[in-house]
Each structure stands twice: as C-alpha cells, then as structure tokens.
Structure 1
Amino acid sequence: MSVDFEAARLASGTPDELAKATEAAIATARGGIERFKKATGDAAELLDIFDEANAALGNLRELAGMIAKAHPDKAVRDAADEAEQELDKVATDISLDREVYEALAAIDVSGLDAATRHWVAKTLREFRRAGVDRDDATRARVRELQEELVGIGQDFDRNIRSDTRTATLPPSALAGLPDDYVRAHPPGEDGLVRVTTEYPDVIPFLTYATDAGAREQLWRLFQLRGHPDNIEVLDRLIERRHELATLLGYPSWAQYVTENKMIGSADAAGDFIDRIAAVAADRLRADLATLLERKRADDPAATAVDPWDNSFLQDRVKAERFAFDSQAMRPYFEYGRVKAGLMDLTERLFGVSFTRRQDAPVWHPDVEAYDVSRGGELIGRIFLDMHPRADKYNHAAMFTMVNGKAGVRIPECALLCNLPQPGDDPALLQHDEVSTFFHEFGHLVHHIFAGHTRWSGMGGISTEWDFVEAPSQLLEEWTLDAPTLATFAVHYKTGEPIPAQMVEKLRAAEEFGKGIFVRQQMFYAAVSLELYRRDPQTFDVAELKRELQARYAPFPEVPGTWFHLSFGHLDGYSAIYYTYMWSLVIAKDLFTVFKREGLLDEETAARYRDAVLAPGGSAPAAELVRKFLGRDYTFDAYQAWLNS
C-alpha cells in the first residue's frame, strides 16, 4: 500500500516536476481507459482497471487544486492551474467517451456487493449527465464548454485570492481592539496604522473597534474584493454554465446541479430557502430590534443598524445582556492548545492517534504534517496550513490530496485556514475561530475515515454534496460543551481551565443573533441559486442580487458594494450554497444521539464513525443517517434549535 510522501513532495516541488507528473497521470489514465475498453473477464477486475485509471487522473487533479491555492511561489501556482486544466480536459474526454460508458454498462454487477452496485449506478448516471449519449456536435460543444469553465473558475478564484485591500487609519481607530491586535498593527512612518481585509485582521476589527466610521471603511473595502475584475468573469461563468445545462437538456444550471443531490431539484432548493427564511423571520425582527436598541444607547438618533455595526453590536449585547465577554474568553483559546485539544478529542472519540512527521516535505515552513493511525495501523495523513500569507486561499477549507483505497493507498488531505499566527505574542483565537477549526477538521476526519472503501471512486467525501457539511457542523457542537473545553481551553498565562460559568454564558450568548445568521445564510443561498436558475440574458447580476438582498438579507444593500464578486462559492458550489443549511438540519438531528448518550461517549462516536463517516459515498446519505439514527432524519431538532 502506498504510504510515502509522493503527494507532499509534488506539492512542495517545482513547476517542471508538476508538469511531468501531469503527463504521467494522463498517460496512466488514458492507458488504463484503453485497457478497460478492450478488457474482458471478471467484473471486479474490470472495475479495478476503470477505478485506477480515474484515480490516477482524479488524485492529481485534486492535488493540483490544493497547490494552486496554497503554494507561495506564483510559478508553481500557475503550473498547478495549468495542470488542472490539462487533467480536466482528459476527464471530460473520458466522460464523453461512449465506448467507456458502454463497457461499464455491460459489466454484470448483480453478483457484487451493494456498495459496488450503488457506485456503478451513480457513475453511469454521471456519464449520461455529462452528455455521453448525445450526438457528436453536442458532445464537442460540451467538451469546449467544460474546458472553458475550468479557466473561468480559476480566474474568478484568483481575482479574489489576490485582492487583499488595506485601510489606512489613525491609531485611535484601534480603540476597543485587544492589546495583542494593537501591538500587531503599529503605526508606520506616517503615523497611521494599516488593517487589511484578510480574515485575522477584519473579523476582530469589525467585532471590537469602537470607531463606527473606521468599521465602515474596512467593511466597504472588504465588500469590494474582486471588483471590478470579476464582473465580466462572473457573467461568463453564469452564461457558460447555462449554455452547458440547456445543451444537456436542462432548463437551467441550477436544475442540472441539484438533480443528483439529496434535494433533487432547483424548485425544491428554492422551497427550502423560503421555508427556512420564513421560520427565521420572527427571530430576525427581534434580533434587529435588540441591536437597534443597543445602538441608540450610543447614538440616540439612530434609525437603523448598518451591516458594519452587526458584529460590534452583537458583541456588546452579548456582553451586557448575557455577561459574556468574548475578549475575556480569548486567553483560553491559544492556538497551539486548541490544536492539541482538538486532536486529543478526535483521538478519544474515534480511536485514532496523530503523530507529527517532521520529515515530511511541505510547501511552506508553516505547514505541519501528521500521520493518522488506528490500532497501530497507518490509515491516513493530514497537513495543517493554518495561517494567512500573500496569495493563499483566504477562507478555510479542507482540500483532498489523495483519495484512499482499501489496501492500495492511504487518504491524504490538507486544511487551509487563516487563523492568527503565533509570534512575539501567543495567537489567541475568538470562539468563532475555534468553531471554524473544528468545522474544517470535521471534513478532514470524514475524508480519512472514508478513504478505505473498496473503490477509490466511492471513497473520501463522495456522498451527496448537500450532506458533506453535516459531519463538520456536528463537530462544532463540542466547542460549546464545558467538559470538552475544560480539557484544553486553559488560560495561556495562568494555566487555569476555562470556567464552566464562562462556557454557560457563551452558550446563552450563542442563542442571540440566530435570526440574523440564518437570514444572512438564506440570502447567500438565494443568490447562489437564483443566479443559476434563469436565463442570464433575462437579468442583470447586480440588480438581481439587489432584489434578493431586499427579500432575504437582514440588512439592505449598501450602494457601491459588490459582495457577489468575492463570493467564491459562486464558482465551486455554484447554485447549491443552500447545502450548508440543509446539512445543518441533518447535523442537528445527528447531535440528538450524542446529547442523549453523552458527548464524550466513545461507543456512540464509534457507531457514528462506522455508520456515517467510513462508508463515504458507498450508499445514499439518507441511508447512512437512517442507520445511525434508527429512523429518517427530521426537521424537528433544527426547528427546536432555531426557536430556543
């Protein structure tokens, strides 16, 4: 079984090495596909040829995607973008090859296991959805569009990633910020301080800065990322996807991309968004009224809450009404201890161990590598790239490096985050950042456990896309549990564990603002869906976004801002941002079992690992959830959470 550092070496290598690896992967894939088309014999042997050919292509494609977002060298990032395009071309060729489709359809899988039958049925459906059964002219145009879309998506992402803006402010604008933040932003020679639109800068600033004018200035800059470059890029992205969908017989890209998800259709996604928005309406009105009341304490003439007030006012309300001081909690969340605590929790719950590999090649000195073992056996490898730097992916996500396969390859993946970095001062996290760390680690755990299926094509996080966030959202629940936090959240100076009373105040404070949060998410989901749900010739993107903001968002549009141009999900997720809330509905139901049995109950965690995580995409997600819950999931737990 492959357990070496091949993927990591390539991720930390040169453009030439990446180009050669791309050529080799393409040759392996094409050769395997040609063998598959001509081969006869045992069904399992034929499927293995097919699976390995696609794995050669897919694994490098996933790795190249990560390299393009993480490598500090522009030449390597550019080479990774080029590799993605070349690999996607071959993947498109395979998806449109009728001989491959017919050879796969001809395999008699009736005598094989249910997971294999499910995987083959899904794969055949994806061939049909790709247009394999269309005429030559249609397939040729599909190929052109698929290749063009890869480049457009890369442009959209690159324009966001490279667009870090800076607010130049007087030192007085840092009033209210923590001492370590102030020390990290000393005045320049001109006597002014500089605050960027990177997350470790902007999130604390919007939360704590008492200067509303400075908050507005930075917030507006944040809303301008990707402008104006992404105006034309996003238009092309929407237009080409619509053309592709209609070419394949669908009324819209939204219908095409939702068809193979749990939700099943664009109309169902729209209904779901409206349902959640309606359920949250009363909470939204109450939340906004509370924020306005608090704002009037400082400005009696205030008539509305502005979006740059939201985080600041919520923090003030939580401090004053719930006696919760988020700054007082930060000293208990020193980055290194949070990381160690999260790993310890994962080890305890799921019966694994993490071992640091100092000998692993890495693409940046900040990156850490760990082997993941279970019962003394190596089952995966993870890489943590956790701190911001220029031209790096500027949000937080798990990226696949290798899709595992039982007895052949171990799964590997990387977390790319932008959490504060330890330096002269310790890196103290906000609770939201701790939740983000747990969330992304949930994806990592899912990928590792699901990387041991019979076929690479059904392993990893290959379940329906609108389920993949549920395991990550579930893991966030442990960040609100006092006994769990007490195991690692200790004051970085005194070593005292976080007081249970402080965690209880956190839990009470977390109940506030749900209406704003949910409606903001539904606004994002509506933008995502509606931009892809209609003919692009019939609407203007900015105008449609404005209409959706008025209908769903907690705050009205601010003229001169262009949030959608830095909404990176419009590329990767396209029409299905609704999946975050759909998954949360399921996650809240999954959590009912842990609430009943105990958050640190190892037997429950093991049953969850084996029933939900380990199967990967070997069965429908609803079936995996049913196996764990002993019933179908319901809306009840989510509604109880929202109304609590």
Structure 2
Amino acid sequence: MRKFLELKVDLDSFIKELNQKLEKNNKNVEKLIKIKDKTFANFVKPLEMMDEKLEQFFTQLSHLNSVKNSAKTQKVYAASLPIITEYSTKLSQNIDIYNAYKEIYKNEQKSLNQEQKRVLELNILGFELSGAHLDEKTKKRLQEINLKKSSLTNDFSQNLLNATNEYKYIITDAKDVEGIPQSDLANALIKEDGVTKYKFTLQMPSYIAYMTYGKNEKIREELYRAYVTRAPQNAQIIDELLSLKDEMSRLLGFDNYACYSLASKMATDESSVIGFLEKLISNSKPQAENELKELQEMAKKPLKSFDTAYYSELLKKEKYDIDEEEYRPYFEQKSVLEGTFEFLNKLFNITFKKNSEELWDKKALSYDLYIDGSLKSRLYLDLEARKGKQGGAWMNNFASHHIDEKGNEQLASAVIVCNFPPSKGQNPSLLRHDDVVTLFHEMGHALHHMLSEVNENGVSGVNGVEWDAVEFPSQFLENFAYEPKVLKLFSTHYKTKEIIPDSMIEKLVKSKNFQSALGMLRQLEFSIFDFKLHTKLYNGSEIQGLLDSIREETALIKPPSYNKFQNGFSHIFAGGYSAGYYSYKWAEVLSADAFFNVVDEGIFNSKCATKYLDIILKSGGSKSMEVLYREFMGREPNPDNLLRLNGII
C-alpha cells in the first residue's frame, strides 16, 4: 500500500499529542531494549519508524510557525521545543541502543544491504557525537546544553522575524520613488486620508526594490541601517550559543566546534576548509578589485555599502543595455513555475500534476510528481512574501520515501518556501531573474528528496547526506536558469504572450557573471567568518573584531561601524550551518563540474543528466557523496569548473 503524509496541525491539542507520542515512544524503546536477539529488522527498523513518524508530526508545527507565524504558533512552538529536545537528547545518548547498533552492525555485516549499513554507520556516529558513551554527569550536562541551544536558536529567529515585521518607512514625496518599477510601486502604494503614500519594509522584495532603484541616498541609508541593525538583542544570544557549542564540543572530546562539525562532513580537517576558502579569495580578489574600480568610475564618488545595489544596477544597464525591470513581465510567477515543470520533464522525464487540497494559505500550492507515469511524491509550494512569514527561501522535507516495518511504502513529500513579490488584485507576481534562480535552487533540493528510491528513511532523500554536499543538487539545477533553451520554455510576456526575444536572452547570459568576483568575495567572507568563529571561543566585541579582520581581506567597501551583520546571520545561529557555511562553495565544485558535462551534451537527452538522476538523486544519503560522485562521473570533481562557472579567470 502506498500513502502520503496527511497535513494537519491542531494547535490547541499539539502539546498534549506530543507528550502522548513521546510517552508511547519511550515505552516502545523499553520493550525493544529487552529483545534478546536483536536484529536490524526487529530493533533498528522500529526505532527508525518511530523517528520518522515523530519528525512528520513535529515538522508540520515548525513549518506553520515559519510560514504563518502568530502569537499562538510562537507559544506552542516555544513550549514544544524543550519537550522534543529533551526526548531526542536522551534517546541519542541511550547506551543500550548505541551498544545494540554496534553489535548488530558487527553480527549482520554479510546480510545487511548498503542502505542498512549506512543507517547503522550514521547512527553509531550520531550516538558518539551525542555522548552516548560518556558518564552520566557529562550526559546530563549535554542534555542541559541541547535544551538551552534549542531555546536560544528559536529566540534568535523570532527576534529577527519580529524586527523585520515591525519596521516600515513611509514616503510621501513622489520624487523619492521615481525610477522604482511599477510592480514594486503597486505593492508599496497605500492611501491614508486620501493621500497617496508608499510603504517600504524590510521584507526582501520591498527592501531590494528601494535599495536597487531608489534615487534618494538618505532613504537608502535609512533602510540599510534598519536592515543591518535588526534584533540587537541577538548579540547576547550569539555569546551564549558560542559558549554552549564550545563547551559541548570539549565535553565530546573535540578541540572546538569546527572539529565537531567536520566529524560528519566530507571535508576532513580545519586546514582543508580554510585552505580551500583562502585559495578562492586569492583567485577572486584581483578581478573583484577591477569590478569595484569600474563601479566607482561610473558612480563618480566613493561608494558606501548602501550605494552598491543602486549603482550596480545603473552600471549593468549601461554595460549590457539590460534593464532588469524589462524582464519581469516575462517572468510571471505561474508561467515560470509551469515552465520549470516542463524543463524538468525534458531533463528527467518527470511530470507534475496539480492538486486542489486546502492548505495553510490560499496562495499555497500542491502538486503530485510522477516519473515514467508512476506516482512518486508530492510537492508543496508557498512562494509569495507576506507578513508573518519568515524571510528567505528554503526547502523542507515533510516525509521521506521508505518502506515501513509492515512493508507499506511511504511516498516522499517536500515544501518549497520563497518570498517572491506578492500578487495583489489584478497585479500578478512578476519575478526578477534572481527569483527564478532561487526557485530552481530550491527545486533542486526538493528533487533530491522527492526522487529518492531508498527504502530506509534515515538515508532517504536529503537524510544522511553530508552537510557540505547537500547544496550540490540545488546549485546544479539553478545553473540552468541561464540556459537559453531552458529560458524559452517559460519566459512568456504575461500580457502579449510573446516569448522572450533572443536579444534579451543574449544580454541576460552576458550579464550572468556581472560582478561575480565581488559576489564570490562576499560569500567567502560569510564562510570564513563562520568557520573561524567556531575554531575557538569568541565573545562580545571579539566577534566583531574577527569579522572586521576578515573584511580586511574580503570587503573592498568597508561596511559602516553600525553594521551588525552577525545579529541576522540565521544560517549559522538559527539554522544548521554552524561551522558549515563553507558548504555552499564546497558543494559548488561538484555542481559546476556536473553542470558543464550536461550542457556539453546539449542538456535535453543528456546521458549525464540520466546518470545524475539514477546515481545522485535516487540514491539520497545511502552512500557518501564522495563515493556517489565517483560512481556518477568516473573521476574526482574538477575544481577549475567552479571558477569557470563564475567567470573568474
């Protein structure tokens, strides 16, 4: 029997249901531990199924809290975090389960398949990284640390969301919005007492619109200052988190949190990560300096941080005769989505069919994915920005493909969340090309999860994939958003129905690597700051001091002293990227290498694309990505293709 996860969250009864599920799980664990002759089938599989069902239940609450945040979701989510964290920590430190896993791995080596071996290997590592083998006093302290960490990361994220939601800048002088695209103006327009005004916020579509097109330098600076000083209370949270992570790492026998983080990644040691990042800096910096010089000559003034987006847009227009606003009518959201599905059909022979189920928001969508005519998985999409929705873009897995303990097949499901310009009345959601790239990126993550043919949930889809490899499929797919034959599938003018002219595509492709070296340096700044921040214990002003020292090498325009970027660095303080932000660049080596091989075969009907589907996407985390990549390409990745992709010589 095949089935999907049923989406439903009852906020009123959630805590009660959670406690009931955990009580039942704890009793089941006690029963399982008493089994005399433990095997993968009678011991590991039931534990894996408990974990999967609990994750499915809890993920729905965390998802709702991210996309439809309210006082009630905040309260329930905050109350549930210590409950779930305490349960998970105790389970991950259970010495009886740890010993049983090691014994089963030893006894069943010959009868276990690759997926089952990988489940055991990763679980054994997980138990060791949780301190299952340590004394009770140490384990108790680790439990306290995990509880506090989960609370702090939630507070960090909520502080940032609140600050973003609360800010608004009202413009009354029409001169101050000259040059702002009409679609952005329509979203900013408000009427108060018969007076036309324009409201700009820190939500990404609104913020980007003024920073890119707004002529008034003082307003740009005001918006920039508000954005980079959000949630100052997060500074104290950062100090606490860093201290807790450092203590946890040392209790587990690591020199620092960076070493702890690398224990489950592809990169082997600190020096290999730092060396990789520093080499990219030295390769990128000369070109970045030339890009900045060109921008300053055009601006005819010393540039400040709040100037770069505005003058970059003017230079891009002048250099390539390209106006991003001219492209947006060709990137109407619905058309882009349908065209993306058509592209994926041509690339992988997969098909999407729309569902009509009622979801958490009237603009959220649901599609079923078919491969070779067979129902495979379900995709949910929530694409437009709105108040009460966390900023940014992400993919989250609702359920993993697996065969349960009764032999039933659970189909995978995933959600893509973005913050694209909202449709409003008769005005459709018109995307920037950057938004199209974002959709492709998150779709790459979703396909990695949804196309898995792995039967063990712990290594199915994105589960079990090393963190510094998990961006490989997303980056691979996003690169196709610049390919002419792909663009022509969905770039249709929403009014005239005209397909985007070749001349416009040519200009877009030529401008692809506009200021790419400056962009590379910025990402490397984030990566090296994150990694070095976790190599020893920093606190207070030392954190800003570290960031400033890194910016000496990476920031060709020095940010103002009031810029507190770290207070909004959700990836590492409220997400899973602590000592792992370098993963974006590490994985980009794989994605660039694979991408060029598919392009060189003509994209559609590519044998390399078929191998990518069969070996990378369908295999999920059943093997190390290092092993899968060698199976896929027959060789090690070529790092030169990363620079080629970014147009860096």
TM-score computed with the length of structure 2 as normaliser: 0.93
Counterparts of 1:360-375 in structure 2, within 5 Å, are 360-375=357-372
SS in 2 for 1:76: helix
- Secondary structure of the 1:422 match is coil
Contact 1:330 1:428 in 2 (8 A): yes
Cα separation, 2, equivalents of 1:83 and 1:381: 27
Farther-moved stretch of structure 1 (611-620 vs 60-69): 60-69
What is residue 514 of structure 1 aligned with on the other side?
516
Aligned to 2:430: 428
Change (3 A) 1:25 1:354: farther
The counterpart of 1:196, out of the listed 178, 196, 201, is: 201
CA spacing shift, 1:618–1:28, aligned 2, 3 Å: farther
Is the contact between residue 4 and residue 413 of structure 2 (CA under 8 Å) also seen in structure 1?
Answer: no
What is the deviation of 1:531? 2.0
Query: Which residue identity lines up with residue 328 of structure 1 in the other structure?
Result: E
**Map of 1:412 onto structure 2:** 413
- Partner of 1:55, secondary structure, is helix
Shift of 1:362: 1.5
Cα distance in 2 for partners of 1:404, 1:601 equals 27
Once the two structures are TM-superposed, the CA of residue 611 in structure 1 deviates from its matched residue by: 0.6
Q: Does the residue aligned with 1:264 lie in a helix, a strand or coil?
A: coil
C-alpha separation in 2, matches of 1:83 and 1:444:
27
Q: Judging changes above 3 Å, is the alpha-carbon distance between structure 1 residues 63 and 460 closer, same or farther for their aligned structure 2 residues?
A: farther
* SS of the residue 1:535 aligns to: coil
**Structure-to-structure mapping, 1:156-555, within 5 angstroms:** 156-164=156-164, 165-169=167-171, 170-186=173-189, 188-189=191-192, 192-226=197-231, 228-296=232-300, 302=301, 304-358=302-356, 360-406=357-403, 407-423=408-424, 424-450=426-452, 452-462=453-463, 463-536=465-538, 540-555=542-557
Structure 1 residue 168, shift from structure 2 partner: 2.7
Q: Which amino acid aligns with 1:331?
A: P
Partners of 2:358 and 2:434 in 1: how far apart? 31
Check conservation: 1:200, 1:420, Cα contact below 8 A.
yes
Structure 1 CA distance, aligned partners of 2:593 and 2:486?
A: 20
- Whether the 8 Å contact between 1:28 and 1:53 is mirrored in structure 2 is no
- CA distance in 1 between counterparts of 2:49 and 2:345 reads 31
In the alignment, residue 327 of structure 1 is paired with which amino acid?
E
How far, CA to CA, are the matches of 2:119 and 2:352 in structure 1?
Answer: 31
User: What do the CA deviations read for 1:14-48 (whole angstroms, capped 9, x no partner)?
Assistant: 31242244234323432442233222254333321
AA at the equivalent of 2:154: Q
CA distances 1:216-261 after superposition (whole Å, capped 9, x unpaired): 22122111222x2211111111111111111111111122112211
User: Structure 1 residues 84 and 413 mapped into 2: Cα distance closer, same or farther (>3 Å)?
Assistant: farther
SS state of the match for residue 417, structure 1?
strand
Query: For the structure 1 residues 566 and 2, does the alpha-carbon distance in structure 2 shift closer, same or farther, using more than 3 Å as the test?
Result: farther
Contact 2:239 2:539 in 1 (8 A): no
Query: SS at 2:578's partner residue?
Result: coil
Other structure's SS at 2:557 match: coil
- Assess, with a 3 A threshold, how the Cα gap between structure 1 residues 441 and 151 changes in structure 2: closer, same or farther: same
1:538 is displaced (CA, Å) by 8.8
Contact 1:68 1:81 in 2 (8 A): no
Measure how far apart 1:186 and its partner are: 2.4
Q: 1-side partners of 2:53 and 2:5: how far apart?
A: 16
**Partner deviation per Cα, 1:295-325 (whole Å, 9 max, x = no partner):** 01xxxxx1x2222222222222221112222
Normalised to the residue count of structure 1, the TM-score between the two structures is 0.94
Aligned partner of 2:620 in structure 1 is 616
- Aligned to 2:352, the other structure's residue is in SS state strand
Is 1:27 matched with 2:31? no
1:166/1:221 contact within 8 Å kept = no
> Relative to structure 2, which stretch is displaced further, 493-502 or 212-221?
212-221
Q: Say whether the 8 Å CA contact 1:61–1:84 is kept in structure 2.
A: no
Report the counterpart of residue 299 of structure 1 in structure 2.
none
The answer (yes or no) to whether the contact 1:322–1:505 under 8 Å persists in 2 is yes
In structure 1, distance between residues paired with 2:64 and 2:44: 30
What CA distance in whole angstroms lies between the structure 2 residues aligned with 1:65 and 1:168?
33
- 8 Å CA contact retained: 2:413, 2:450: yes
Q: Partners of 1:109 and 1:590 in 2: how far apart?
A: 36
> SS of the residue aligned with 2:560?
coil
Seen in structure 2, the aligned counterparts of structure 1 residues 117 and 168 have a Cα distance that, compared at 3 Å, is: same
- 1:246-288 CA distance string (max 9 Å, x none): 1111111122112211112233222222111111111110110
Contact kept, 8 Å, 2:445 with 2:474, in 1: the verdict is: yes
Match of 1:587 among 584, 591, 612: 591
Matches within 5 A, 1:79-158: 79-107=76-104, 108-111=107-110, 112-158=112-158
Q: Once the 2 structures are TM-superposed, how far is the Cα of residue 438 of structure 1 from its aligned partner? A: 0.9
Q: How does 1:633-644 map to 2 (within 5 A)?
A: 633-642=637-646, 643=648
Letter aligned with residue 325 of structure 2: Q
CA separation of 1:225 and 1:538: change in aligned 2, threshold 3 A? closer
Cα distance between partner residues in 1 of 2:563 and 2:94: 45
Distance 2:184 2:67 in 1: 25
RMSD after superposition: 1.9
Task: Check the 8 A contact 2:4/2:411 in 1, yes or no.
Answer: no
Residue type of the alignment partner of 1:449 = L
Percent identical across equivalent pairs? 25
Change (3 A) 1:336 1:474: same
1:82: how far off?
2.8
Deviates more, 1:518-527 or 1:213-222: 213-222
Which shifted more, 363-372 or 58-67? 58-67
8 Å CA contact 2:524, 2:582 repeated in 1: yes
Deviation per CA, 1:500-530: give whole Å up to 9, x if none: 2211111111122011100000111122112
Q: What is the CA deviation profile of residues 353-397 of structure 1, one whole-angstrom value per residue up to 9, with x for unaligned ones?
A: 222221x24222221112222234322112111112222111100
**Residues in 1 aligned to 2:298 and 2:141: alpha-carbon distance in whole angstroms:** 57
**Structure 1 stretch 168-177 or stretch 452-461: which is displaced more?**
168-177
Structure 1 runs of 4+ aligned residues shifted over 6 Å read none
> 1: CA distance between counterparts of 2:17 and 2:596?
46
Name the CA shift for 1:598/1:18 in 2 (closer, same or farther; >3 Å): farther
1:458 partner amino acid: V
Q: Which ranges in structure 2 are unaligned for 5 or more consecutive residues?
A: none
Unaligned runs of 5+ in 1: 297-301
Give 1:200's aligned amino acid.
Answer: P
SS of 2:384's partner is coil
- Confirm or deny: 8 A CA contact 1:230 1:565 kept in the other structure: yes
